[in-house]
């Protein structure tokens, strides 16, 4: 087969045929003649769109979540019947509530158990797990202790510390993650895990090179250092050389409100990234961390491509500053449909309109991209788009009605190849990263359902392969 001819697709509001060859869109027109060896796909009026890009997710964490005990629906009671892994551990994810090591001991105390809060910011370990990782003697600032100085089993933003003390095993395969993403029409992803080790960079690159992860890949956590003077292994260095965009990917910075950095330290980190031609992608979820970041960027000076990750709480007064610095925003309205009631109950009423803004950013001239933050938010981009349109919490309340956007605007947040850029288009010469819908675009925008995705092409290869 030499290529693909998609017949009768809706492209930019008109019906036409689209020819793909060598991973590139090479022609659009009416009644294109089939060439020898071409596969013909009858679109029957369905929209042909550029492939979607998820601008913020965590790939290996998503793969691990698929193999973990889901503690969201049944809660941690699901751990009672869980079978330990080959190392004898039980890993739970997605819980939401008040939990500590003693509560886990009462539930399941005979084997090591660790449970991740659905925000991703907290791990809870039972006593057996705490003994295995040396929790009592830990000096990490995220280890919570009671009044007597004993660990409670709760670890805040201590993923790296914990990972170094768990049984060693190879990173999980991303094959299932890649398949699910393709079924949703996603052809590009940005892994937002901060401060990736050289080995993890190499492992992600291998998943991409093997085809287990077919999507285009950008890594925000790729180390700042490169070459002989840097921290890369030879395979990771080759990744940056083979994929030059990685060398200039934004540098992920996390601003945890439990331990915010001093302003000079944050300015220094931003400056170092900028000197290496790396914009910054900064995790900010409160007005306090946002104020610190904006002050740091004003001192360090912005670089095109600098972006806010989440921007969960943004006061009206900050919109002009964000625009003036040329920042874009990568946000996750899917959280509102997933747990918007928690946000409403935990935020003063006067700030409800500041939560996960979309419309006001766009009105201020700030570029907005949408994303999942999977596995901590819903992976399905169509569910995220619906949440941006409806902004409805699980209990039915609306979270900031003024921040609603149209279905077309929500879709545009996934169509841009980079945050703040114009939505991609299906035109000759572009990479054949495409998604074919079962219905015309207007119908898809009215329903915003993954059920409308018929077929996904990545570099001209059909998702039927994955």
E strand intervals along 58-159? 69-70, 90-95, 113-117, 122-125, 143-145, 151-156
Q: Is the Cβ–Cβ distance between 414 and 450 less than 8 Å? A: no
**Where residue 181 sits, what CATH number does that domain have?**
3.20.20.140
Q: CA-CA distances (angstroms) from residue 236 to 14, 225, 275?
A: 44, 11, 21
Does 180 lie in the same domain as 150? no
Q: What is the pLDDT along the chain (466 residues), one digit of tens a residue?
A: 579 999 999 999 999 999 999 999 999 999 999 999 899 999 999 999 999 999 999 999 999 888 888 887 667 888 888 888 888 898 888 888 889 999 999 989 999 999 998 888 899 999 999 999 999 999 899 999 999 999 999 999 888 889 888 887 778 899 999 999 999 999 999 999 999 988 899 999 999 999 999 999 999 999 987 432 233 445 544 554 445 446 679 999 999 888 899 999 999 999 999 999 999 999 999 999 999 999 999 999 999 999 999 999 999 999 999 999 999 999 999 999 998 998 999 999 999 999 999 999 999 999 999 999 999 999 999 999 999 999 999 999 999 999 999 999 999 999 999 999 999 999 999 999 999 999 999 999 999 999 999 999 999 998 654 4
Does 244 lie in the same domain as 289? yes
User: Residue 438: phi, psi to the nearest 5?
Assistant: -80, -15
Does 433 lie in the same domain as 420? no
Does 435 lie in the same domain as 421? no
Buried b (16+ CB within 10 A) or exposed e, 189-227: bbbbbbbbbbebbbbbbebbeeebbbbbbbbbbbbeebe
Does 215 lie in the same domain as 104? no
Enclosing domain of residue 3: 1-51+426-466
Helix axes 381-390, 334-346, angle to 10 degrees: 50
- Cis peptide bond prior to 375, omega within 30° of 0: yes
Does 118 lie in the same domain as 75? yes
Cα–Cα nearest to 156, from 127, 197, 126, 120:
120
Q: Is the Cβ–Cβ distance between 115 and 97 less than 8 Å? A: no
Cα–Cα nearest to 163, from 60, 245, 263:
60
pTM passes above 0.85? yes
Domain count, the chain: 3
**Cα atoms found within 13 Å of the Cα of residue 419, Cβ hemisphere only:** 33
Q: Is the Cβ–Cβ distance between 32 and 19 less than 8 Å? A: yes
Does 384 lie in the same domain as 254? yes
Does 339 lie in the same domain as 465? no
Does 400 lie in the same domain as 267? yes
Does 98 lie in the same domain as 216? no
Q: What is the pLDDT of residues 216-244, one digit of tens each?
A: 999 999 998 743 223 344 554 455 444 54
Cα–Cα nearest to 124, from 104, 148, 149:
104
Does 233 lie in the same domain as 374? yes
Q: CA-CA distances (angstroms) from residue 244 to 151, 240, 335?
A: 44, 5, 33
- How would DSSP label each residue in 385-418? HHHHHH-B-TTS-BS-GGG---HHHHHHHHHBSS
**Where residue 448 sits, what CATH number does that domain have?**
2.30.40.10
Structure tokens at 415: 């169509």
Does 298 lie in the same domain as 213? yes
């Amino acid at each position: 087969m030499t290529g693909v001819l998609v017949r009768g697709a809706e492209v930019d509001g008109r019906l036409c045929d689209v020819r793909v060859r060598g991973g590139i869109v090479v022609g659009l027109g009416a009644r294109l003649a089939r060439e020898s060896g071409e596969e013909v796909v009858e679109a029957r009026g369905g929209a042909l769109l550029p492939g979607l890009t998820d601008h913020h997710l965590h790939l290996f964490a998503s793969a691990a979540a698929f193999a973990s005990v889901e503690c969201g629906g049944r809660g941690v009671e699901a751990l009672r019947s869980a079978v330990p892994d080959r190392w004898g551990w039980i890993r739970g994810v997605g819980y939401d509530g008040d939990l500590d090591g003693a509560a886990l001991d009462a539930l399941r105390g005979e084997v090591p158990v660790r449970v991740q809060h659905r925000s991703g910011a907290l791990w809870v370990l039972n006593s057996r797990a705490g003994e295995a990782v040396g929790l009592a003697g830990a000096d990490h600032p995220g280890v919570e202790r009671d009044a007597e100085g004993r660990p409670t089993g709760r670890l805040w933003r201590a993923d790296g510390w914990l990972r170094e003390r768990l049984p060693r095993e190879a990173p999980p395969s991303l094959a299932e993650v890649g398949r699910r993403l393709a079924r949703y029409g996603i052809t590009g992803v940005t892994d937002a895990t901060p401060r990736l080790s050289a080995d993890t960079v190499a492992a992600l690159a291998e998943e991409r090179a093997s085809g287990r992860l077919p999507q285009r890949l950008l890594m925000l956590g790729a180390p700042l250092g490169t070459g002989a003077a840097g921290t890369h292994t030879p395979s990771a260095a080759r990744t940056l050389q083979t994929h030059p965009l990685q060398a200039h990917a934004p540098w992920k910075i996390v601003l945890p409100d439990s331990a915010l950095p001093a302003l000079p330290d944050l300015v220094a980190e931003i400056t170092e990234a900028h000197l290496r031609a790396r914009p910054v992608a900064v995790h900010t979820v409160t007005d306090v961390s946002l104020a610190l970041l904006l002050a740091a960027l004003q001192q360090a000076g912005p670089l095109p491509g600098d972006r806010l990750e989440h921007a969960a709480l943004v006061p009206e007064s900050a919109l002009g500053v964000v625009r003036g610095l040329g920042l874009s925003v990568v946000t996750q309205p899917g959280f509102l449909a997933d747990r918007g009631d928690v946000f409403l109950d935990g935020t003063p009423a006067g700030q409800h309109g500041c939560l996960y803004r979309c419309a006001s950013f766009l009105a201020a001239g700030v570029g907005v991209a949408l994303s999942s933050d999977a596995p901590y938010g819903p992976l399905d981009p169509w569910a995220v788009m619906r949440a941006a349109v409806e902004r409805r919490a699980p209990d039915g309340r609306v979270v900031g009605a003024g921040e609603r956007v149209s279905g077309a605007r929500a879709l545009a947040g996934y169509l841009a190849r980079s945050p703040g850029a114009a939505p991609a288009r299906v035109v000759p010469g572009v990479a054949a990263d495409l998604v074919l819908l079962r219905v015309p675009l207007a119908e898809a925008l009215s329903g915003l359902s993954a059920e409308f995705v018929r077929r996904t092409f990545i570099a001209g290869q059909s998702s039927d392969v994955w």
